[in-house]
Amino acid sequence: MADVDTSQTPDADEALAQEVRSWLAANWSGAPVDAAGHRQWLAKVVEARWAVPRWPAEWGGRGLPDGQARIIERAFAAVGAPGSGQDRTNLWANTLLAYGQPELKQKLVPRLLRGEVGMCLLYSEPGAGSDLAGLRTRAERRSDAAHGDHFVVNGQKVWTSNAATAEYGMLVARTDWDVPKHQGISFFFCPMKQPGVDVRPLRQVTNESHFNEVFLTDAIVPAANQLGDLGQGWSVLQTALAYERSLMGEQARGPRSGAAESTAEEPLIALAREAGKLGDPLIRQELARVVAYKKLNALNTARAKADLAQGTSSPIMSLGKLAMSRILHEEARLRTALLGPESLLEGPGHPRAEDANFLSLNAYFTSIGGGTDQIQRNIIGERVLGLPKEPEVDRDVPFRQVRGG
């Protein structure tokens, strides 16, 4: 008689749910008041092996299937506790675990899960945004007594969030100029706190400076910080982008003042009620459209994440990312319509209008970051719907011969 797997029986599920609820009751006392408290909480979650339950035990996981991992995540969400589900959401740790060298994984994976390492993305360049494979930042391999086996990096990146405070940047750079553009790229964890890295903030239309341009001048990256094989960084990048698009498709930045989120009710419905327009049939139709988009996107994102295995990418993530972009633009348009002339105001004395204007402008972040809406449509058309690829005249040309703008 074959052995029966009891790990996913209803009794096992209930025992797991009871275990995590009991642990939360004994350890969770409410949201941390500062960053240090947040990190201390994450350390507890990691130590108890709730942070990455799908991962193997050697990396702090429990080796659980997705269904049981979600039992843990739901228990955490029920009390508002962060830290679980990082095996789905932690872009940095998941990419490193899948492709990093053993020494680097041992050094950084636990710290990444505990929120102790500031990170940024060194992808886009002034001449390589939508066509990221056209990047020209150069990484040349060297070896000497001072730095050992390492790469010397020269180039420029742009639109980099958190670059000023990051300890490492996930860097894509060209290591071979004599092969087609997708084949000569390598992927690194680049140390940011060194003389060869110059970070300059960019002023945004929202009057913030979250983004930066980064100049790399003879920056040193240890060879041990290479992820994946030399020249095969494009595959590593696709995994990293899948996690990034997953996050952007699931959640978006809220209003600055918080006024729009001051009720448990759907914020747009609350705003329509406050404006006395909830009975307007046209407004109700628009509200229903936005709420339906949100619900459908949540279901699609859950499906995509369930299919996303460690170290892989999924074109379905592009659906969620594109959908979130449309949701944010639709929400911004509807907020403005509900406020009417009041939407022309701004400042702390007019929080509703301030939020509407900020969200309208900030919606473009999701339309651009992680690959533009146009790029997502190409991915969906080619890899989800099976439509013919757009022509690329330089796809099979050695990159050294590709004409630059």
Given a cut of 50, whether residue 6 has pLDDT beyond it is no
Round the average pLDDT of the chain to a whole number and report it: 88
Given a cut of 80, whether residue 4 has pLDDT beyond it is no
> 79-137: per-residue pLDDT in tens?
999 999 999 889 999 999 999 999 999 999 999 999 999 999 999 999 887 788 999 99
169's enclosing H/E stretch is strand 168-174
Given a cut of 60, whether residue 395 has pLDDT beyond it is yes
* Nearest of 191, 150, 172 to residue 235 by alpha carbon: 172
Q: Write down the pLDDT at residue 352.
A: 86
Which pLDDT band, with edges at 50, 70 and 90, does 391 fall under? confident
Given a cut of 50, whether residue 212 has pLDDT beyond it is yes
Residue 200: helix, strand or coil by DSSP? strand
Catalytic annotation, pick one of 73, 125, 213, 244: 244
Which pLDDT band, with edges at 50, 70 and 90, does 2 fall under? very low
118 Cβ partners below 8 Å, 6+ apart?
Answer: 162, 165, 166, 167, 168
Q: Count the neighbouring beta carbons within 10 Å of the beta carbon of residue 277.
A: 17
Q: Write down the pLDDT at residue 260.
A: 47
Q: Write down the pLDDT at residue 316.
A: 75
Q: Is 244 a residue of the active site?
A: yes
Q: Write down the pLDDT at residue 141.
A: 98
Distances 116 to 38, 51, 167, 274, 369 between C-alpha atoms, Å? 10, 14, 10, 42, 24
In CATH, what number does 30-113 get? 1.10.540.10
Which pLDDT band, with edges at 50, 70 and 90, does 250 fall under? low
> 128-157: per-residue pLDDT in tens?
877 889 999 999 999 999 999 999 999 999
Residue 142: helix, strand or coil by DSSP? strand
> 343-386: per-residue pLDDT in tens?
888 878 888 888 888 888 888 877 887 778 888 898 889 888 89
Q: Write down the pLDDT at residue 17.
A: 96
Residue 324 or residue 141, greater confidence: 141
Q: At what angle do helices 66-78 and 10-27 cross, to 10 degrees?
A: 30
In CATH, what number does 119-233 get? 2.40.110.10
- Alpha helices, DSSP H, located in 79-199: 86-89, 91-99, 102-113
Task: Retrieve residue 34's tokens.
Answer: 């500062």
Q: What percent of the chain has pLDDT over 90?
A: 54
Q: Write down the pLDDT at residue 311.
A: 56
pTM across the whole model: 0.80
> 269-318: per-residue pLDDT in tens?
888 898 889 899 999 999 999 989 888 888 877 776 666 665 556 677 78
Q: Does domain 251-384 have CATH number 1.20.140.10?
A: yes
Q: What percent of the chain has pLDDT over 70?
A: 89
Decide the pairing of beta strands 197-201 and 168-174. Answer: unpaired
Given a cut of 90, whether residue 43 has pLDDT beyond it is yes
Task: Specify which residues 171 forms β-bridges with.
Answer: 122, 188
Which of the residue ranges 68-72, 125-129, 141-145, 227-231 would you say has the lowest mean pLDDT? Answer: 125-129
| Residues 129, 119: Cα–Cα separation, whole Å | 20
* Nearest of 198, 197, 199 to residue 212 by alpha carbon: 199
Which residue ranges make up each domain of the chain?
30-113, 119-233, 251-384
- Long-range contacts of 107-110, Cβ-Cβ distance < 8 Å, separation of 24 or more: 108/168, 108/189, 109/59, 109/60, 110/46, 110/60
Which pLDDT band, with edges at 50, 70 and 90, does 393 fall under? confident
Which pLDDT band, with edges at 50, 70 and 90, does 199 fall under? very high
